[in-house]
Amino acid sequence: MTELATQPKQPNWFSRLAHPGNFMAWTRPLIMPLAVLTALAFVTGLWLAFFRAPLETENVGTTLPILYIHVPTAWLSQFIYGAMFAAALGTLVWRHPLADVAARAAAPLGAAFTVLALFTGALWGRPTWGTFWEWDGRMTSTLILLFIYLGIIALWRAFDDQLKAARIVAIFTLVGSVNIPIIKFSVDWWNTLHQPATLITSTGPRMAPEIFLPLMVMLVSFTLLFVTLELVSIHTGILKRRADSLSRQAAMGSAA
Amino acid sequence: MSAFFAIVGRDLKLAARLGGDALTLVLFFVMVGAVMPFAIGPDRVLLAQLAPGIIWIAAFLSMLLGLDRLFRADEDDGSMLLFRHAVIPLEAVVAAKMLAHWLLTAVPVLVATPLLAVMLSMDGTSWGETALALLLGTPALTAFGTIGAAVTVSLKRGGLLAPVLILPLAIPVLIFGVAMIGAPVGSSAAMLFLSALSLVSVAFCPFAAALALRVGTE
């Protein structure tokens, strides 16, 4: 017991993860397998979608395959905000340095997937609803979500001091996440045309199983794609910070 | 409590003595409303129909554009550092500044609504409803705006960032504010939602804004 007491306490894995070098060393071997897994999942999902599932249904006609991109990107547009919310908590509660980098890396990805969801939605809306854009509840709240993402990106870019930026953006992200349900509710209340929830209902998915399966695989593939891109982007962020501090050191050295 | 009102009084005095900020804001509000007929056409029926929306947009824009003043001057002249060590917590200071800002931006705009109502050929009841909606909704706009101002106060080149950040968050205020016009007063769901939004945001925003100020000015 006395021997143990004199030894310095070993930090747990969560704290050790805070060291960017450790994080890089631990996760670098993961990137390649993740990328391969993502590619395999995409191939499986697309194969299921185009060779095993019907290519058209009665209500949407031949535009059905848009579903396999539209639904996963729309899911990611919200999932990524959830990830940013978690990172914001990490920044504010534990001051975890990796949470800063992760939040910063997630914002452009979230904006990109939101744009994709809106774009595929517009392409889909034209033949089925007869219009590219309709001021419908869910479309409008997705558009507002995109505005919030773009605002967050602009806020990140406005700061010189990245440590301060991380905490300020984290506060704003939390405020946004309190607001997003209110925005969704108000906009739905305002106008609704989009079809109601199909996937998650109390009676199980209201969808043919041969379409449901490829959709699920595509959801997993897109989520894996996000995880891979996020990881690569975190690595880039860490390297960029390191390069910045090195160049600052070099400038200090040459000045002295 | 006296410190709270001292800060409110200080901000009001500063605004009264240092220039026509409130007057410029009213001018902006009236001008946005007055420009609309040029864009839409001088059709009195159409204008009367659009008037509540026009007044809301004008109020929305003038509230958002005035945001930057909320903390900027205090940050520049060092008052913010004193506020952080005031006898009341920073959250209360923020609430005081929020109240002063509301008195300086929302009240002049409310006072100016009859002018726009006449110009846009609104009748008395729809003016009354619009004014009531503004009275209930502007506290929420000010509260969200306070967060935007607090988040961007440490930026030397913040510029338009605060309005851009806050605009999406403030959309529910606009939705409920416009929806309650024309609905029966007292029983409309929109009015209750708008009031709830204002009450909750006024209660919650000082904490978020004070946190952002602490981080931003440390």
- Per-residue pLDDT of A197-239, as tens digits, reads 565 555 555 677 778 888 999 999 999 999 999 999 999 999 9
Give the total number of structural domains in chain B: 1
pLDDT digits (tens, 9 = 90+) for B94-127: 999 999 999 988 999 999 999 988 888 888 888 8
Contact check, Cβ <8 Å, B175/A178: no
Instruction: With cut-offs at 50, 70 and 90, classify the pLDDT of residue B185.
Output: low
Q: Where are the alpha helices (DSSP H) in chain B?
A: 2-18, 21-40, 44-65, 69-77, 79-84, 90-119, 124-152, 161-169, 171-179, 189-216
Burial readout B198-211 (b: 16 or more C-beta within 10 A, e: otherwise): beebbeebbebbbb
Mean pLDDT in chain B? 87
C-alpha distance from residue B23 to each of A204, B29, B56 (Å):
59, 10, 18
Judged by DSSP in three states, B159 sits in coil
- Region B49-76: mean pLDDT is 86
Is A102 within a domain? yes
From the CB of residue A62, how many other CB atoms can be counted at a distance below 10 Å? 10
Domain limits for position B102: 2-216
Give the total number of structural domains in chain A: 1
Q: Give the chain A residue whose CA is nearest to the CA of B201.
A: A179
Q: What does the pLDDT read at residue A200?
A: 54
pLDDT at B192 over 80: yes
Q: Give the chain A residue whose CA is nearest to the CA of B151.
A: A168
* Nearest by Cα to A105 from A169, A180, A42, A21: A169
A178 touches chain B (CB under 8 A): yes
Q: How far apart are CA A186 and CA A183, in angstroms?
A: 5
pLDDT at A196 over 80: no
Q: What does the pLDDT read at residue A193?
A: 46
**Residue B176: which of A164, A172, A186 has the nearest Cβ?**
A186
A185 vs B contacts (CB less than 8 Å): 172
Of A55-64, A132-141, A188-197, B50-59, the one with minimum mean pLDDT is A188-197
Q: Mean pLDDT: which of A46-60, A242-256, B135-149, B168-182 is highest? A: B135-149
Burial readout B74-99 (b: 16 or more C-beta within 10 A, e: otherwise): bbeeebbeebeebebebbbbbbbbbb
pLDDT at B153 over 50: yes
Of A32-36, A187-191, B43-47, B89-93, the one with minimum mean pLDDT is A187-191
Instruction: With cut-offs at 50, 70 and 90, classify the pLDDT of residue A51.
Output: confident
A141 vs B contacts (CB less than 8 Å): none
A163 touches chain B (CB under 8 A): no
Is A124 within a domain? yes
Of A25-34, A82-91, B183-192, the one with minimum mean pLDDT is B183-192
Domain limits for position A110: 65-201+213-245
Q: What does the pLDDT read at residue B92?
A: 93
B164 vs A contacts (CB less than 8 Å): 150-151, 154
pLDDT digits (tens, 9 = 90+) for A147-159: 999 999 999 999 8
Is A37 within a domain? no
pLDDT at A1 over 80: no
C-alpha distance from residue A148 to each of A168, A176, A191, B136, B193 (Å):
15, 8, 21, 25, 22
Identify whether the C-beta of residue B134 lies closer than 8 Å to the C-beta of residue B55. Answer: yes
Q: Give the chain B residue whose CA is nearest to the CA of A151.
A: B165
Q: Give the chain A residue whose CA is nearest to the CA of B189.
A: A189
Q: Give the chain B residue whose CA is nearest to the CA of A143.
A: B168
Amino acid letter at A17?
Answer: L
Find which of A89, A91, A146, A155 to mutate to test the B interface (most B CBs within 10 Å of its CB). A155
H/E stretch holding A77 reads: helix A67-89
Instruction: With cut-offs at 50, 70 and 90, classify the pLDDT of residue A7.
Output: low
pTM score: 0.88
The CA dihedral of B29, B31, B34, B40, to the nearest 10 degrees, is -90
β-pair partners for A61: A57
Contact check, Cβ <8 Å, B151/A151: no
Burial readout B129-152 (b: 16 or more C-beta within 10 A, e: otherwise): bbbbbbebbbbbbbbbbbbbbbbb
pLDDT digits (tens, 9 = 90+) for A83-141: 999 999 999 998 888 888 999 999 999 999 999 999 998 888 888 778 888 777 788 88
The distance of A151 to chain B (nearest Cα, Å) reads 5
B216 vs A contacts (CB less than 8 Å): 164, 168
Instruction: With cut-offs at 50, 70 and 90, classify the pLDDT of residue B144.
Output: very high
Q: What does the pLDDT read at residue A105?
A: 93
> pLDDT > 90: what percent of chain A?
41
| Radius of gyration of chain B measured on its C-alpha atoms | 18
Q: Which residues of B touch A (CB under 8 A)?
A: 147, 151-152, 154-155, 157-158, 161, 164-165, 167-169, 171-172, 175-176, 179, 193, 197, 204, 208, 211-212, 215-216, 218
Q: Which residues contact B10 (CB under 8 A, 6 or more apart)?
A: none
Q: Mean pLDDT: which of A84-88, B47-51, B168-172 is highest? A: A84-88
The CA dihedral of B95, B98, B99, B105, to the nearest 10 degrees, is 180
